[in-house]
Amino acid sequence: MFYRNLFLKNLECDYNSIHYIEKWDDIAEFEGLYQCSTFGRIKSFGRNGNGYQDRILKQRIDRYGYLTVGLVKKQVKYYFTVHRIIAKTFLLNSEDKPQVNHKKGIKTDNRVIELEWVTSSEDALHAHKIGLKSQVGEKNAYSVITNDIAIKIFNSKGTHIKIGEKFGVSRHVVQNIKTGNAWVFLTGKKHSRKDKKLTKPQIICILESLEEKRYLSEKYNIDESTVRYIKNGRRYSKITGIIYKKNK
């Protein structure tokens, strides 16, 4: 995959009889610090005093199978999924569609020619069409554990971190199984998470954060909808000062 190439030289490839050469552009909110490319790579510019020269950043796969990267601004590190960075930079989204789809279902292929903006329903239909959601449990191509391990995790006692270490998975995988967010067809557990009470500093941090809703949701143990409501003023408006405007 192209994201593993950490050399600064621009990459090239042939796709559907067309020859493509890698192009770069600034990442919004991080101009002068980072750029992303049409091949799904992220470049960091060397800054005076930090001892670094220009370099290609290493990317990591999150628990959903997507590539992520950490960008630093004013000594604060923000985490983003790479496919959304690439789409926001290079793909027009005139219809304001909320999700980015991998055309072939390969989550680690973030070349701009493999990405498209879609609605939630379009994304679901596409996933079924190419078979990403036709299999559940250990039969799913993205599963990292077996049905047997999932049941053992669900029945295990102890902290999520300890259970994760025992079975070689992250605490997030354990949490999803325990709370009914995953493997429900085996455990029968229904997800019913209630948001914890947020403090004023936490609400302000969520409001001002550049990170995606998914990561803020995990960080503060709240639903993604709560993050969205804080940012659009539907909740905690007395703290944020944002007036919610309902779409007509």
* Structural domain includes residue 192: no
Whether the pLDDT of residue 132 is over 90: the answer is no
122 plus 149 within the same structural domain: no
CB contact set of 76 (below 8 Å; sequence gap of 6+): none
Whether the pLDDT of residue 30 is over 50: the answer is yes
Whether the pLDDT of residue 144 is over 90: the answer is no
CB contact set of 154 (below 8 Å; sequence gap of 6+): 177, 178, 183, 186, 187, 189
Q: Which residue, of 118, 134, 150, is where some domain finishes?
A: 134
The structural domain count of the chain equals 3
Q: 166-191: per-residue pLDDT in tens?
A: 888 877 788 888 887 777 777 777 66
Higher pLDDT, 24 or 146: 24
Whether the pLDDT of residue 120 is over 90: the answer is no
47 plus 63 within the same structural domain: yes
124 plus 224 within the same structural domain: no
* Structural domain includes residue 205: yes
Residue that the structure tokens 């101009």 belong to: 31
Q: pTM value?
A: 0.63
59 plus 178 within the same structural domain: no
122 plus 228 within the same structural domain: no
Q: 193-245: per-residue pLDDT in tens?
A: 555 688 999 999 999 888 888 778 877 878 788 888 999 888 898 888 888 77
Q: At 248, list the tokens.
A: 């007509």
166 plus 67 within the same structural domain: no
77 plus 143 within the same structural domain: no
The whole domain housing 206 covers 200-237
CB contact set of 48 (below 8 Å; sequence gap of 6+): none
* Structural domain includes residue 243: no
Give the CATH number for residue 46: 3.90.75.20
Q: Is 79 exposed, middle or buried (0-12, 13-18, 19+ CB in 10 A)?
A: middle
